[in-house]
Every structure is written in C-alpha cells, then in structure tokens.
Structure 1
Amino acid sequence: MLQPLLFAFLFFAFVAARQARLAAAGHAPHHYMNRFKIAKRQSGDANTPLMLTNWCPDSVWPAIDSQGGTGPSNTGFELASGDNQTEYVSSDWQGRVWGRTNCTFSGHGGGSACTTGDCGGLEACQGPGAPPATLAEFTLNGGQQQTFYDLSLVDGYNLPMAIVMLPNSNTDLTTLDPSTTNPSCVASAGNLAPPTFNPYTNSQQFLGTDSNSPLPFDTKITAATISQWCPWDLQVTPPSKPANGAYPYPDTKIPRPAFDPCYSACAKYNTDAYCCTGTADERGKCSPNYYSKAAKQVCPDAYSYAYDDQDSTFVQPTGGGFQMIFCPGGRSTDIIGRKGVGVIEHT
C-alpha cells in the first residue's frame, strides 16, 4: 500500500484534472493537493483504447472530455443498446467519460439537448457535462509510471457504470487480479440484481472476471432501499405532488420514477461545506455530507465527495486501456470494503 506522502506525490496529476473540472463547472478548487499544477501535453501515440459499451435498454450518448494528452477526435456520439465503440487516446491522457440520456440534437447547440450529462446542446462535447452524471475519471500517467482512475459520483448520479481494465498484453497488468481492478456502481432499481447474485455459474465471465477471481459484490442494498437512496431534495425529477398539493409523510412511502437521476449536494447547492471549497478547503474541515453518505452506501467503490480520494482511487502500472460499460447489471462492487483499500493500489 502506498504511504500517504508518496500517494500524494503520485496523485497530483489526477487531482489537478479534478480541479479543472470543478473550476469549469463553477466550483472553486477544493482539494488539498491544489498547489500542484500539470500542463496539458500533446503527444501523438493515441493508441490506448477506451471501449464504450451500452448494456442499457435504450441508447446512451457517451461523452469524452480531455484535460491532458491527446484525446479522441470523436468526443460525443450515440451508442445504441447492445453496441460497442472504441476510441483511442494517448498514453499520457487525462480526462473523463460519462453517459448522456434522452438526447435530441438540433445541430446548432445552445440550450439543453439531453436530460442528464448535457454538453451545451452539442452532440460532440467541447468541455464538461452538466450534472448529474456518473463519471469514469482517468490520469493514465500520473507520475512514476502509475495510472489513476475512479468511478465518481461527486457530480451526482445518472447511470449505472462499470470500469473494466484492459491489459493490452502488458505483462505488468496481465498478472493483476481483475477482482481488484474493475469497479462497478449500480444505483438504479431497474438494474439491480438480488443479493444472491452470482454471475459465474456455468463458467461464465462477468466484467472481466470469472469464478477463479470473483468480484466482491455489495449484499446489503435491496430493491426497496435502492429506489429511495437519493435524498429527496436532490432528485432531478421528484414525484408529482398529489391533488391536495402535499406529499404524504414519510416520503419513503412515495413511489419514485424508475429513472431517478440524483444531484450531489455540491452540484445543486454549491456551498463551501458541500464542495469542500473556501473555508472548508482542507481535509478535516470538510466531512462526508448527507448525499455522499447515501452514495457511498449504494456504490461503495465510488468517489463520493472531495476528500474520498484515497479510499476510492484505483492505481496500477501504466500501459492499460479501459472499457466503460453503461448499465452493467448485477450489483455494485465492494472491493475496498471486502478486501481493503490496499488491494486497489497496484504499485
């Protein structure tokens, strides 16, 4: 396991990318590592694969935002249910990937074309998307030949997502245990499998793993709790009020929509306490809030607020590619809770 100071040194590039994202979204930099800066580098070796896979029942519009290195020329497109598309980035790429939902593009931009994850009405994104959006974040070469990546709910949640590491015949990566490299976040009622979920019967594989190295899944969340996890005030589309204009109490008895995107407290209210900015811009002064606690329960391996980094960031040698799967099915992984944070730091 990385010692704290060494981890901080290696993590500077990853954090710098997060600072740029928050600044672009209107939030001040909030992380204790904001003293580090990283310049955008342009390189020509755009041969690292990013595979986008859609297992959702409807189309998803993946978006790719680059903050360093060389990103793909195709930064947004429609991905039909069951389809795959691979884009390529450089080995020093920094950026993030997310899925947009229910999009209709006019071709002119402006306004909003998607219900979640929108990029200013553009199909080809030219910057960060609007929250809420489940993010896959990457710094492919953050120093000392280390790659950093995570699933992030810091900007909220819109779609289930998994990250599968692709070794690319790199011997440093082919020997890694895939049950410690492939996190998944499933926080939508319609996508959640029962607590007894076992994808490995009949020698089947799931998210790059098999029965010899099975993923550890969360077993606590139920169909009832998954449908109510988003705090009431953070729902993008809360249920309509009844005819008398008042919600019954408690609100846990009110049916919610099957597609129930959730803002983070930071994304909705933009306060120092929720965003770990200003007077709360130090570890110890910014604590998990009501949203991040709820998010961490349904997606234990996901990044839930600004200072959740050292418990949610996966580290491995450079050289690998990645597959992002929208609506992977199954259940959220609990790699860190079941195996310990040290197992996700492959140094």
Structure 2
Amino acid sequence: MYPQYFNCLLTILFMIFVSGPRQTKCTRTFTIVNSCKETVWPGITPGESFNGSGFALKSGQSAVFTAPDGWSGRIWGRTGCKFDNSNGTCQTGNCGTSLKCTGPGDPPATIAEFTLGNLDFYDVSLVDGFNLQMTVTPIKGKGNCSVVGCDGDMRQSCPSELAFKVDGKTVACKSACEAFNTDEYCCRGMYGNPVTCHATNYSRSFKQLCPAAYSYAFDDPTSIFTCASAEYIVTFCASRNQTVCSYHNNNLVCSGSSSVNFSIILWCVTMVALALIFKAPSNLKV
C-alpha cells in the first residue's frame, strides 16, 4: 500500500474516533427534517432560536438550529397551510394566522417536547391528538438516548368519533379529551392524578400503534426519555428504525454513527483517486 493511502486512512479513522460531541455545554443542535411527501410548516414555541418559531419545510428539506441550555419547548408540524405574506391558516396544528407561532398549536397535533439541562428530558406526545408521524432521534448523546415517537399513521385507523376531517378526508385524529371533553378522558377534576386517571380504550389504541409516544396525560413510565449532551433530529414521516442524518459545520452525523468531517474524507478520496490514476505500478501491462 502506498504511504499516502495509509496516512489518508489513518486520518479518516482518527476523525471518526475522536469526533465526539463538540458542542458547547450551553447549546443543543436541532435538525428538523421533512420526510413527508408534502410541505410541512413546523411550529416551535418558544421559537426565538428556531427562525422565529415558524417556517415552511418542503418535502426532503431540513433545517438546523441551535437552542440554548435550559430551553424548554415543543415542536410540531402544521399541515395544509396557505400563507400569503406570512399570514394564513393551516388545516392542522394551526397557531393563529401568522407563519410565526406565538403560542401552542391547536389540537389535534403530534408534539415533540423537550426540557434541556444537564440531563435532557424529551418525548413525543399524542395527548393533544395526532396529525403527523414524528420521531425524535438523539445523536452523539450519553445515556439511554432512545429514539422515540409515533411512526404509525393514526389517520388510517382513527375511530370515526375521533376523526378530524376536512372536505370529507380525515386529516388528523383527535384525542378522546378533545372529542368528549370529560374529566375522565382529560385527566382533570377527581381524575387529575395518576391513581384515578388510567388508560382508556382510545389511549390504548394510540399506544398500540405508537408504543414510544405519550398516549394520555399520565403515561410517563413508558413515554418520557432522558439523554445528556445530545444533538436531536426531529423527523416528520419517518420510522424509528430509519437512519436519519444531519449535516452542519462540515460534519455529517447520522443515527448510529459518529460524526465525520466530510471535507477531510472528500479530500482523502480525491487524493487516493489521483494516486491510482497517475502512479499506477510500472509493471502494469496493457
């Protein structure tokens, strides 16, 4: 093997093994990915660090943001939106008439929730219903750092009494609380604690399709997760076992892998290719 090949391979291996988490203690990187076939309009509250809390994300697009340590908020996807000069409405997840959300989205909506600190807490919630498949994938983190979310499409199996329809088409699935507005389904009043508020047939159907998501208000033991020093990839319309990636600061990072400096790899591959072309062995016969 040529010495330059060996050095290049050593460089790549070095980058793979030493490129651990390098972000500062005070920030977290969030990548929001749209794997759906149509445009999604993410909503974020509070969203000062996320392009002002609202934007359009076309199919296949992604956006990278940095949130401060201590940030506690929610991310969801709005669908069926029509905006003109940043004003308009959405079929689901609506947060008023502005592209930038100043408050929570209207149910039904699938919601990713985060509280960042020395130990991050995160989950995907169906307590406010379902409108899109959504997964949260921690990368480069320490601890359990499970992939969570709802990758089943509740709209296809939504009970008729929970169906949220637009022009006769089910575009979302309401929670039982929103549909019936009773203390039992909303876990309030005498049902406002984990002793008296239990899973219902409706929340069980949510849980069966999406076991790694909150199905009702006191579904904590199987639905809230923790991770330290992670970056997060929030993906619409992806499965939990699907590889997802983020590219920023010349680093390509994918779930289940370490970060690699893409420019270094590209340089090494180019050098190896040139060596093969211009320095072929002299005994090569043609």
Q: How does the TM-score come out when normalised to structure 2?
A: 0.69
1:55 to 2:26 alignment: no
Match of 1:340 in 2: none
- 1:162-190 Cα offsets, whole Å, 9 max, x none, are 111022xx6xx2xx56xx6112412228x
Local SS of the residue matching 1:237? strand
1:236 to 2:169 alignment: no
1: CA distance, partners of 2:75 / 2:235: 11
Match of 1:156 in 2: 129
1: CA distance, partners of 2:181 / 2:101: 23
Map 1:22-171 onto structure 2 (within 5 A): 47-66=27-46, 71-107=49-85, 109=87, 113-141=89-117, 145-167=118-140
1: CA distance, partners of 2:64 / 2:26: 12
Unaligned runs of 5+ in 1: 1-44, 190-225, 241-256, 333-347
Q: 1:108 to 1:227 in 2, by over 3 A?
A: closer
Q: 1:48 to 1:276 in 2, by over 3 A?
A: same
Match of 1:183 in 2: 148
Q: Are the equivalent residues in 2 in contact too, given 1:160–1:187 (CA < 8 A)?
A: yes
Between structures 1 and 2, the one with greater strand share: 2
Q: Are the equivalent residues in 2 in contact too, given 1:107–1:122 (CA < 8 A)?
A: no
Local SS of the residue matching 1:74? helix
Q: Among residues 283, 286, 293, which one is paired with 2:204 in the alignment?
A: 293
Q: Are the equivalent residues in 1 in contact too, given 2:135–2:240 (CA < 8 A)?
A: no
Q: Deviation at 1:266? A: 1.4
Q: Which amino acid aligns with 2:50?
A: P
Match of 1:227 in 2: 156
1: CA distance, partners of 2:177 / 2:132: 18
Q: Are the equivalent residues in 2 in contact too, given 1:71–1:93 (CA < 8 A)?
A: no
| Pairs aligned (count) | 219
Q: Are the equivalent residues in 1 in contact too, given 2:197–2:218 (CA < 8 A)?
A: yes
Match of 1:324 in 2: 234
Unaligned runs of 5+ in 2: 1-24, 243-286
- 1:48-107 Cα offsets, whole Å, 9 max, x none, are 21110001011000111129xx74342000000000101221011100100000101244
Q: 1:260 to 1:104 in 2, by over 3 A?
A: closer
Q: Deviation at 1:289? A: 2.0
Q: 1:46 to 1:124 in 2, by over 3 A?
A: farther
Q: Are the equivalent residues in 2 in contact too, given 1:52–1:325 (CA < 8 A)?
A: yes
1: CA distance, partners of 2:85 / 2:190: 42
Cα RMSD after superposing both structures: 2.6
2: CA distance, partners of 1:297 / 1:327: 18
Q: Are the equivalent residues in 2 in contact too, given 1:188–1:260 (CA < 8 A)?
A: no
- 1:185-231 Cα offsets, whole Å, 9 max, x none, are 12228xxxxxxxxxxxxxxxxxxxxxxxxxxxxxxxxxxxx832x22
Q: Which amino acid aligns with 1:97?
A: I
Q: 1:328 to 1:88 in 2, by over 3 A?
A: same
Local SS of the residue matching 1:261? strand
